[in-house]
Amino acid sequence: MGAAAALRSSEWLPIGFFGYVAIVSLWFPHQPHSPATPLALAVVIPALLSALAYGEAKVHREFFSITRDSVPLALTLVAYREMDWFSPLVRDHHLELKWIGWDRWLLHDGGLQRGIEAWGSIGPAYLEFCYLLVYAAGPFAVAVMYFACRREGVNQVVFLYLLGTLLAYSLFPFFPSDPPRTVFAGEDLPNVVTVLRRFNLRIVGGYGIHSSVFPSAHVASAFSAGFALLLFLPERKWFGWGTLIYAASVAIATVYGRYHYAVDAIAGLAASLIATGLVTTFPRRRLRFRGLP
């Protein structure tokens, strides 16, 4: 059996995603980036994953098997940065002008901002901390599976996590938009500014992309991690439910902190629900873990 045939389902997902981006980039010729770059990634990523599969089969099974648990997660960072290539040269903010009205109703008329700030900095600090930790949602889900001695289920967990996250990324080129904190600078911002908020703003300011905020990949990835643990670690459902509660906190944090619009958070949740629905619809045997030592 060749290396390509031994690829896990969680490895086929990034291969498909980078191939998709290479094709979609041809429809965005006005962007300031060459389509040669996404094409190169569409070739390099399958080669890398195939090399790891070959290493597991022929060289050092345990080392490469464990490495393959984490590499697809690391590739989400590459996928995220790749989305910046779709940043439009000209922006009219027509989407943001529609979305902001719903946010202002939720934050002010609906009392969301007042409720969060009712106990001073406790609520805002908690939400900012949740927003900060979202980058570790995928690794956390994998670590839980290791902790529970359920490594045979890692592939399924990573697959669902990636499916929800990459589904959100795949929509970015078609919904060019900027976060409310920049489009409506100085408006609707939190009244409580914590150290964690300053830190988060540095991260999104220095590493964030400028192509789109719809759907919220933060929300999609957090909920996908929670649904994955709920599905594939049923004997310890509190891990899954706890992660879903955390994901709901992330969704609120994105709106309260003005990192996203409310519609972004809802769409992120929808992406994770679609991913979960697809996984539960198809036979789980097709998502089996391969190469477990």
pLDDT of residue 288 exceeding 60, the answer is no
Provide the pLDDT for residue 4. Answer: 45
Classify 113 as helix, strand or coil. Answer: helix
Query: Is 293 inside a domain boundary?
Result: no
pLDDT of residue 88 exceeding 90 = no
Domain of residue 19 covers 4-287
Residue 160 in any domain: the answer is yes
By mean pLDDT, which of 33-37, 105-109, 196-200, 260-264 is the weakest? 33-37
Residue with tokens 């529970």: 148
| Six token digits for residue 243 | 């992660």
Q: Which residues fall within 8 angstroms of residue 153, CB to CB, at 6 or more apart?
A: 145, 232, 233, 289
- The answer to whether residue 292 sits within a structural domain is no
- Tell me the mean pLDDT in the region 209-220: 95
> What mean pLDDT is predicted for residues 69-94?
91
pLDDT band at 89 (very low <50, low <70, confident <90, very high): confident
In a domain, 53, yes or no: yes
Query: Residue 282's pLDDT is what?
Result: 77
Give 285's pLDDT tier (boundaries 50, 70, 90).
low
136-183: pLDDT as tens digits: 999 999 999 999 999 999 999 999 999 999 999 999 999 999 999 999
249 part of a folded domain: yes
Distance CA 24, CA 38 (A): 10
Residue 227 lies in a domain: yes
pTM here is 0.93
Name the average pLDDT for the chain.
91
For residue 99, pLDDT over 80 is answered with yes
Give the C-alpha distances (Å, rounded to integers) separating 279 from 33, 76, 221, 291: 34, 19, 15, 21
Res. 289 pLDDT band, cuts 50 70 90 = very low
Residue 229 lies in a domain: yes
Number of domains in the chain: 1
Residue-level pLDDT at 20: 96
Query: Quick check: is 155 in a domain?
Result: yes
